[in-house]
């Protein structure tokens, strides 16, 4: 059974004028997959990601996460699932500015009620794995974009989630660090088997994932297997941007 199963997901935003964003999404994503959802802006890819991350509700259809129906959850239940099952990586990093790198990484464990000492140890362990141990006590404004995103990745990983959702993770990075971040995500997927879903509009980013889901005007267009990254016209030596 797939980790994520979507059946006929519909979502309409109603800000004065109804906007039908998702028009019946059917999708299966298995455990350990490294997937990208690709589409132009306004295609509904971010909305889909928000629904996958239980940050937003959907109007009709069914969303099964690890065999559990995610529908009309209370905020508390949603928070619990997000905390235990899902890690988030954002385009603008979304680190808390007045906390140091290690404190930012610790925060999800704080909400799990893990003791200060244990969560500090785990955060430091993770940061050193990502080569950031010397930056642990720095505040986000003292870090480069790539370092910030790696801190954010560490924060997403600290709870050992089943899924990592990345919303334009390279959107604020230059091409070199973009590549590094994507390689990091790829190796995390290979090493720990965590399911990674990346939302992007950049083909180069999508190309570094194993499966590309094209979304257009709220409908899934095609699903492309991308096992051999170098075969793709965007692969090989093409620069990401």
Partner 1 sequence: MRLFDMDSLKEILETLSKNKSRTLLTGFGVFWGVFMLLMMSGGGSGLKQLLSRNFEGFATNSILVVADRTTKPYKGFNRGRTWNFTLDDVDYLKAAIPELDVVAPVNAMWGRNATYNGRSCSGTIKGLSADYRVIEAPSIEYGRYISEADILSGRKVCVIGKRIYEELFPEGGNPCGNFIRIDGTYYQVVGLDVSNGQMSINGNSSETIVIPINVFMSVYNNGNNVGLLAMTARSGSESSVIQEDVRQALYRKHLVSPDDKSAMFVMNTAQMFAMVDNLFRGVNILIWLVGLGTLLAGAIGVSNIMMVTVKERTTEIGIRRAIGATPRMILGQIMSESVILTLSSGAIALVISVAILSLVDMVMAEQKIECSFQVGFGTALITAVTLSVLGIVAGLAPAFRAMAIKPVDAMRDE
Which residues in this chain contact partner 1 in the complex, by CB under 8 A? 46, 50, 53, 55-56, 75-76, 79-80, 82-84, 87-88, 90-92, 94-99, 103, 107-108, 110-113, 115-116, 155, 159, 167
Residue 2 or 50: the one with the smaller Cβ distance to partner 1 is 50
Beta strand pairing call for 34-38 and 195-200: parallel
Kind plus residue range of the DSSP H or E element containing 186? helix 175-192
Contact 51, 37 (CB under 8 A): no
d(CA 63, CA 82): 14
Residue 57 or 232: the one with the smaller Cβ distance to partner 1 is 57
Residue 146 or 161: the one with the smaller Cβ distance to partner 1 is 161
Give the shortest CB-143-to-partner 1 separation in angstroms. 16
d(CA 168, CA 215): 15
**Tokens read off for 169:** 């993770």
Give the shortest CB-236-to-partner 1 separation in angstroms. 32
Give the shortest CB-121-to-partner 1 separation in angstroms. 15
Contact 213, 38 (CB under 8 A): yes
Residue 4 or 207: the one with the smaller Cβ distance to partner 1 is 4
């Amino acid at each position: 059974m797939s980790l994520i199963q979507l059946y006929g997901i519909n979502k309409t935003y109603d800000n004065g004028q109804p906007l039908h964003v998702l028009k019946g999404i059917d999708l299966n994503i298995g455990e350990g997959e490294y997937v990208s959802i690709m589409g132009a802006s306004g295609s509904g890819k971010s909305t889909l990601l928000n629904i996958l991350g239980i940050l937003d509700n959907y109007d009709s259809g069914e969303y099964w996460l690890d065999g559990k129906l995610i529908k009309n959850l209370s905020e508390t239940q949603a928070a619990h699932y997000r905390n235990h099952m899902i890690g988030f990586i954002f385009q603008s990093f979304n680190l808390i500015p007045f906390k140091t790198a290690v404190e930012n990484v610790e925060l999800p464990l704080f909400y799990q009620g893990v003791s200060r000492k244990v969560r500090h140890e785990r955060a430091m362990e993770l940061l050193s794995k990502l080569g950031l141990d010397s930056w642990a006590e720095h505040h986000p404004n003292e870090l480069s974009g790539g370092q910030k995103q790696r801190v954010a990745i560490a924060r997403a990983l600290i709870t050992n989630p089943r899924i990592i959702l990345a919303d334009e993770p390279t959107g604020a990075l230059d091409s070199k660090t973009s590549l590094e971040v994507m390689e990091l995500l790829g190796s995390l997927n290979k090493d720990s088997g965590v399911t990674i879903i990346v939302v992007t509009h950049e083909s180069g980013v999508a190309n570094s994932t194993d499966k590309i889901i094209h979304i257009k005007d709220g409908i899934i267009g095609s699903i492309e297997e991308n096992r051999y990254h170098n075969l793709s016209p965007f692969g090989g030596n093409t620069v990401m941007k």
